[in-house]
Amino acid sequence: MQERFGRAGVVFGRHWADTMAKKQLLEDIKNNPANFYRTPNDVARDRRFSDPERLEILEAWERDARALAVADDEGMTGGEPSRLQTVVEARREIENRVPGETKYRESSKYGGGSVQ
How do the domains of the chain map onto residue ranges? 27-97
pLDDT at res. 18: 83
Strand 11-12 and strand 4-5: the pairing is antiparallel
Neighbours of 12 (CB within 10 A): 15
pLDDT band at 112 (very low <50, low <70, confident <90, very high): low
First CA to last CA distance, the chain: 49
Q: What angle, rounded to 10 degrees, do the helices at 51-73 and 84-97 form? A: 160
pLDDT digits (tens, 9 = 90+) for 61-90: 999 998 888 876 666 666 666 689 999 999
